Amino acid sequence: MKEKGKISSAVIRRLPRYRRYLEDLLKKDVERISSGELSRHIGYTASQIRQDFNNFGGFGQQGYGYNVKSLYEAIGGIMGLNREYKMTIIGCGNVGQAIANYSYYYEQGFRVVSLFDVDETLIGSTINEIEVRDAETLGEYLAANAVDIGIICTSKSSAQEAADKLCAGGVKGIWNFAPMDLTVPENVALENVHLSDSLHSLAYYINENEKES
Amino acid sequence: MKEKGKISSAVIRRLPRYRRYLEDLLKKDVERISSGELSRHIGYTASQIRQDFNNFGGFGQQGYGYNVKSLYEAIGGIMGLNREYKMTIIGCGNVGQAIANYSYYYEQGFRVVSLFDVDETLIGSTINEIEVRDAETLGEYLAANAVDIGIICTSKSSAQEAADKLCAGGVKGIWNFAPMDLTVPENVALENVHLSDSLHSLAYYINENEKES
């Protein structure tokens, strides 16, 4: 087995997708699958799939393929999904509220435990049964409550300040929805969801398709 | 200038980011910038930046650098941001509502023109001044109204059906928020925002950091 740190980010990007497909197979009571069949479902080549899984030690057996449940659990373990993550949302506008209300990841151990905003009209209200706190109190809150992930849903101009406070307060990861790139310490993981970048890429491909047709 | 179709998807991914930085510079009234300075802002190497921009014909001048406004507009033009896109949202739950209310991209020509849902309690209500229509009527709506982008915010089980109807109705691109991979015809552009994949990647890196420390 290779050293964990050596796994390329491209492989890491593919893991959640493998896991989603395996989850679907589990729900359909499929017990085992070959890399060839998995390839037909997921679109990567069978050799790519075998190579990806070899990164974590070979889970497959020649002539049998992969046990769906074991592989699903192994990937979940590698990704750190066998534990709970406490999350706090900074900024309870449209995006923050949607994330507070979005339950898809709750069952997977990601739990929103607190919400913060600067807006007086929001502070004290509840979203999905969680009270919105005054953003001024974020520092003291984090000093008293361990939070794993800070979710930044503020405006662009407040995002870096929010990130600084979250990092100073000991969060281990930042999930950033503000349309800008943040600077965080090396020991804090950062994942961006740049919605407008995604929409702009879509616009590019729409225009390319129109030129071709 | 290379053929447009030959530009790698990695370059296309970087363009929205360049554009964001140039927008910030424009707001600060910066007139020109060298690839070296841009590199310090954005993190890519100066040589990478020059190479990226060369893909579209060199905008820079030796000893002068790049004119911020020209470069900003040129990138916008390449990405197809000099026109309007009409968008319809399928599924008006948390994510659909957030997108309907999220105004960040409105100023950039992306306009939500209609909303659809299957939920009787939502149909007829308005979100951001737009009425929620019965998803049953999507086909006839698209036959009468040109829509450029379909935004899928349905559950996993309804997403492919929504995509099929949107494609049959002539949309040019799909922006997919459902946690699954969709199949669309070749002439339809597809961009996925897999929130849980992003969160799972974050979990992976948090765990890796913990192992190292």
pLDDT in tens, B109-147: 999 999 999 999 999 999 999 999 999 999 999 999 999
Name the amino acid, one letter, at B171: V
3-state helix, strand, coil in chain B (%, to 5): 50, 20, 35
Closest in A12, A148, A209 to B187, CB measured: A209
Q: Which residue has the tokens 């449209």?
A: A94
Q: Is A148 on the interface with B (CB under 8 A)?
A: yes
pLDDT band at B5 (very low <50, low <70, confident <90, very high): low
Judge: A195–B199 Cβ closer than 8 Å, yes or no.
no
In this predicted structure, which of A19-23, A25-29, A166-170, B7-11 has the lowest mean pLDDT?
A: B7-11
Judge: A202–B108 Cβ closer than 8 Å, yes or no.
no
A109: distance to nearest CA of chain B, Å? 10
A140: distance to nearest CA of chain B, Å? 23
Entry pTM: 0.88
Q: What is the mean pLDDT of residues B174-187?
A: 94
Mutate to test the interface with B, among A9, A92, A200 (most CBs of B within 10 A): A200
Q: Is A27 on the interface with B (CB under 8 A)?
A: no
pLDDT band at B102 (very low <50, low <70, confident <90, very high): confident
Closest in A5, A12, A212 to B201, CB measured: A12
Judge: A198–B175 Cβ closer than 8 Å, yes or no.
yes
Residue numbers in A near B195 (CB within 8 A): 102, 104-105, 193
Separation of CA B106 from chain center: 12
CA atoms in the 13 A half-sphere facing the CB of B46: 9
CA distance A17 to A105: 15
Please determine, for residue B201, whether its predicted confidence score (pLDDT) is greater than 50.
Answer: yes
Name the amino acid, one letter, at A205: Y
CA distance A150 to A173: 6
Integer-rounded Cα radius of gyration of chain A: 20
H-helix or E-strand spanning residue B191: strand B189-192
Residue numbers in B near A198 (CB within 8 A): 175, 191, 193
pLDDT band at A168 (very low <50, low <70, confident <90, very high): very high
Tokens of B176: 């997919």
Q: What is the mean pLDDT of residues A147-158?
A: 96
For the sheet containing A130-134, what is the strand order? Answer: A126-127, A130-134, A110-117, A85-90, A149-152, A173-176, A189-192
Taking all residues of chain B, what is their mean pLDDT, rounded to a whole number?
A: 90
**Ramachandran assignment for B124, one of left (phi > 0), alpha (psi -120 to 50 degrees), beta (any other):** left
Please determine, for residue A128, whether its predicted confidence score (pLDDT) is greater than 70.
Answer: yes
Asked if A79 contacts A109 with a C-beta cutoff of 8 angstroms, the reply is no
Q: What is the mean pLDDT of residues A77-96?
A: 93
CA distance B26 to A150: 30
Judge: B209–A203 Cβ closer than 8 Å, yes or no.
no
Q: Is A173 on the interface with B (CB under 8 A)?
A: yes
CA distance A175 to A163: 10
- Of A60-64, A146-150, B20-24, where does the model show the most confidence? A146-150
- Number of other CB atoms surrounding residue B111 within 10 Å: 13
Judge: A16–B200 Cβ closer than 8 Å, yes or no.
yes
pLDDT band at A2 (very low <50, low <70, confident <90, very high): very low
- Of A109-113, A148-152, A155-159, A203-207, where does the model show the most confidence? A148-152
The interface predicted TM-score of the complex, written ipTM, equals 0.89
B3: distance to nearest CA of chain A, Å? 11
Q: Which residue has the tokens 């534990």?
A: A83
CA distance A3 to A152: 32
Q: Is A97 on the interface with B (CB under 8 A)?
A: yes
A203: distance to nearest CA of chain B, Å? 6
Tokens of B63: 């000893």
CA distance A14 to A198: 18
DSSP helix/strand/coil, B136: helix
Tokens of B173: 């691109």
DSSP helix/strand/coil, A20: helix
DSSP helix/strand/coil, A24: helix
**Res B1: pLDDT:** 37
CA distance A11 to B126: 43
A60: distance to nearest CA of chain B, Å? 22
DSSP helix/strand/coil, A180: coil
> Across the A/B interface, how many CB contacts are shorter than 8 Å?
178
B146: distance to nearest CA of chain A, Å? 14
% chain B with pLDDT above 70: 94
Please determine, for residue B95, whether its predicted confidence score (pLDDT) is greater than 60.
Answer: yes
Q: Is B185 on the interface with A (CB under 8 A)?
A: no
**Res A58: pLDDT:** 61
**Res A41: pLDDT:** 85
**Res A4: pLDDT:** 46
Judge: A175–B206 Cβ closer than 8 Å, yes or no.
no
